[in-house]
Amino acid sequence: MAFPTIGATEGIIVLVVILIVFGVGKLPQVGGALGKGIREFRKGKTGLLELTTEEDEDEEEETPKNKKKTTKKLTEGKTKTKQS
């Protein structure tokens, strides 16, 4: 279910309501607080994306090593079996 987009009329109504509720004097403070909140959200999102990317890279590096050890063990097992 898609959410409807906000048109120009709805945007103007929202701005008018914000002006009525907060007043003209508090509007810069509200805008600054909103901007800081958005910045912190973006920083957190970027940090989370970098963390998950690093974890993915670590998992990719570990997987081939494990495969080589398994192959080596299987080869050693076949060699021992052949020698027996």
End-to-end CA distance of the chain: 66
Per-residue pLDDT of the chain (84 residues; tens, 9 = 90+): 777 888 999 999 998 998 898 888 888 898 899 999 999 999 998 888 888 887 777 777 766 554 555 455 555 555 554 444
Task: Name the amino acid, one letter, at 57.
Answer: E
* pLDDT at 53 (0 to 100): 81
CB 19 within 8 A of CB 27: yes
* pLDDT at 18 (0 to 100): 87
This prediction has a pTM of: 0.46
* pLDDT at 39 (0 to 100): 95
Tell me how long the chain is.
84
